[in-house]
């Protein structure tokens, strides 16, 4: 699966951000929406709908308490293994996708990008996890699959497989799930490779993509990292620990970058009227035409 994802995002990175990564992102978006939608329609629709609505309500009502919950009377295993891990997982994504989001968001307002990321990611997680986990809960409550026991004895991967196989045309759903996961992994790795290649390129001009060779180099490096973890026999706990260790330094970096960003906005735009900022749209970047050696320009800037 890692090699397949690596091959896909290497090809996507070689093609370019407009024809490669943009198409992968659209495929992931539609796949992550259509898969739970079909599960919702062919599964216990009423139970899934009620459970998702109830879960969203409980999350909204108890968000502050759940955010600060540390399990002081217990061992804190759930908080440590899931809540903290999941939040740090999102933080670890920021270096890999920040430059990509900036690159594809040219012409949009800052508040539009912020709200789009916050609401889009939140709604996407609620819908995907809400539908899939509600179906798994329904199968457990009705005695079809003992999901907790399968997870403890055979692992989470087997539990996911058995839950998907319990759907009508289960093999088709399993194949669709694998397809979405592979493309999702490939699109994220492609975004990280693009960011690493851009930051590793000197004198990269605005609107210019990093060299293909540099992008391909980082694609290979990023593919080797999970393969090395796999070949060393590292467990899920080891990977969680790796995410936590890599994400913690970014907390300090993000605070510094946020402060610098606000300072830059005040310095460059404090004198600009609000209505001008609201209505101003940056001009599209037009790459200059490369002229042959020895070409002579006319007075209007056109070549003879």
157: in domain = yes
Number of domains present in the structure of the chain: 1
Structural domain contains residue 202: yes
pLDDT of residue 262: 85
In a domain, 294, yes or no: no
Asked if 149 contacts 57 with a C-beta cutoff of 8 angstroms, the reply is no
The alpha-carbon radius of gyration of the chain (Å, integer) is 23
What is the predicted pLDDT for the residue at 46?
92
pLDDT of residue 52: 92
Helix, strand, or coil (residue 194): helix
Examine residue 144 and state whether it is found in any structural domain, yes or no: yes
Q: Work out the angle at residue 122's Cα, subtended by the Cα atoms of residues 229 and 140, and round it to the nearest 5 degrees.
A: 70
Does residue 47 fall inside a structural domain? Answer: yes
Query: What pLDDT score was predicted for residue 114?
Result: 85
Within a domain: 295 = no
Q: What size, in residues, is the chain?
A: 304
Q: What is the pLDDT of residue 25?
A: 74
User: Distance of CA 237 to CAs 78, 80, 214, 244, Å?
Assistant: 13, 11, 32, 10
- pLDDT for 303: 46
- Residues paired with residue 194 on neighbouring β-strands, in sequence order: none
Question: pLDDT tens digits, residue range 70-114?
Answer: 778 777 777 777 777 777 777 777 766 777 777 777 777 888 888
- Per-residue exposure over 90-123, b if at least 16 CB sit within 10 Å of its own CB, e if not: ebbbebbbebbeebbeeeeeeeeeeeeeeeeeee
Residue 297 forms part of a structural domain: no
- CA 254, CA 139: separation in Å to the nearest integer? 42
35-59 per-position pLDDT tens digit = 999 999 988 899 999 999 999 899 8
- Report the C-alpha gap between 258 and 110 in whole angstroms: 13
What is the predicted pLDDT for the residue at 21? Answer: 66
**All residues at 6 or more sequence positions from 131 whose CB lies less than 8 Å from its CB, including other chains:** 36, 37, 39, 40, 48, 52
pTM of the model: 0.72
Give dist(CA 129, CA 58) in Å, integer.
Answer: 15
**Three-state secondary-structure class, residue 297:** strand
CA distance 252 to 220: 29
Residues in the chain with pLDDT values less than 50: 285-286, 288, 291, 299-301, 303
Strand partners, 303: 297
Range of the domain at 165: 2-279
Q: Is residue 209 part of a domain?
A: yes
């Amino acid at each position: 699966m890692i090699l397949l994802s690596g091959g896909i995002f290497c090809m996507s990175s070689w093609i370019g951000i407009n024809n490669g990564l943009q198409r992968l992102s659209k495929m992931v978006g539609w796949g992550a929406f259509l898969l739970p939608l079909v599960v919702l329609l062919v599964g216990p629709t009423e139970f899934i709908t009620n459970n998702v609505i109830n879960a969203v309500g409980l999350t909204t009502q108890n968000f502050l308490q759940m955010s600060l919950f540390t399990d002081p009377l217990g061992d804190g295993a759930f908080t440590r293994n899931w809540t903290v891990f999941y939040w740090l997982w999102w933080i670890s994504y920021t270096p890999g996708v920040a430059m990509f989001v900036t690159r594809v968001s040219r012409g949009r307002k800052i508040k539009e990008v912020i709200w789009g990321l916050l609401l889009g990611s939140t709604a996407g997680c609620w819908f995907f996890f809400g539908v899939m986990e509600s179906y798994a809960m329904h199968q457990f409550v009705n005695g079809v699959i003992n999901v907790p026991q399968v997870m403890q004895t055979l692992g989470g991967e087997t539990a996911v497989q058995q839950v998907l196989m319990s759907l009508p045309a289960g093999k088709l759903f399993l194949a669709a799930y694998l397809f979405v996961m592979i493309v999702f992994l490939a699109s994220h790795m492609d975004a990280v490779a693009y960011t690493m290649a851009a930051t590793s390129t000197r004198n990269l001009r605005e609107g210019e993509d990093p060299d293909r060779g540099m992008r391909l180099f980082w694609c290979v490096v990023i593919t080797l990292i999970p393969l090395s973890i796999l070949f060393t026999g590292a467990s899920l706990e080891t990977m969680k620990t790796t995410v936590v260790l890599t994400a913690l330094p970014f907390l300090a970096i993000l605070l510094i970058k946020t402060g610098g960003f606000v300072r830059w906005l005040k310095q460059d735009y404090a004198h600009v009227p609000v209505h001008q900022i609201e209505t101003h749209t940056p001009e599209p970047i037009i790459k200059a035409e490369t002229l042959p050696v020895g070409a002579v320009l006319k007075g209007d800037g056109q070549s003879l």
